[in-house]
Amino acid sequence: MIISETTSFGGRYLRVSHASSTLNCEMTYGLFLPPEASEDNPAPVLYWLSGLTCTDENFMQKAGAHRLAAELGIAILAPDTSPRGEGVPDDPDGSYDLGLGAGFYLNATKPPWSSHYHMFDYVLDELPAVVKAQFPISDVWSIAGHSMGGHGALVLGLRHPYRFRSISAFAPIVNPSACPWGHKAFQNYLGDDEARWHDYDACHLLSHLMEEDEVLPLLIDQGDADQFLEQQLLLPNLDPQLDRLQCSAEIRIQPGYDHSYYFIASFIDDHLRFHADYLFAQNNGAE
């Protein structure tokens, strides 16, 4: 069901709800369609995964991405960050880093979370099929995100490179097994077996790849004034693995920028152009 529709830079920004069989609840997503998107001309898609406490609306309202996406002809799909609604479990202590708004883009295996918190499968399989059945989007996708969403983009892109053309992230949580946010989420959602945690940890996923394995083109922006950089994001932990694999990756440290949407808005055009190079390339990646 379309909740709202707004014209933006000649395109359409929609908020849409649907019943999710993967998450066992009603979900809402945001979709920007560029002006020329049609059944005869389906648009390639940039998947955007947001961070802790966000909904489907934060990126669409704050990042300023519609103008260039309309110009480039890219659709943007922004899901919510967790299941929602009556009966969906939340952190009993009311903290922001577990439960509602904090799905961590994984498939929970530990009760009570396992009944709803299957964001990995939702993002990978169910939501793309739901959106494509109703709107003019193509099978050509890239993926991006911020913070917890940057973690999600990295993990999905590393585990399923055939589904995407490229990956980018703003201030991603790259080694969640080793930081307080990730440790809390993984222990609650997945239990104490840390081997399961590594399936959702970019540093551990990269450590098991060989030079001949495919790693998608990657762009990461990180502000050096980010209050979460040293304790939660752990970006330097990614460097040895990227150096070892010699993959097409660029990590940019941006002086003076913090963790906010001002940071994202300042560099989102770079990320859109980065993805456009791969989304519109012929015979490259996903089919």
Extract the tokens encoding 162.
């055939």
Radius of gyration, CA atoms only, the chain: 18
Active-site annotation holder among 116, 118, 146, 259: 259
Residue with tokens 């406490």: 53
Segments of the chain assigned E as strands: 2-8, 11-20, 25-33, 43-49, 75-79, 137-146, 167-170, 218-223, 249-254
Name the CA dihedral angle for 132, 135, 140, 145, rounded to a multiple of 10 degrees: -90
Active-site position among 20, 50, 147, 166: 147
Rounded (5°) CA angle 162-142-108: 75
Give the length of the chain.
Answer: 287
Q: Is 115 a catalytic residue?
A: no
| Pair 206, 237: CB distance under 8 Å | no
118 is catalytic: no
Q: What is d(CA 81, CA 54) in angstroms, rounded to the nearest whole number?
A: 6
Q: Which of 151, 166, 226, 271 is catalytic?
A: 226
49, 77 Cβ separation under 8 angstroms: no
Do 144 and 275 touch, CB atoms closer than 8 A? yes
183 is catalytic: no
> Which residues are catalytically annotated?
147, 226, 259
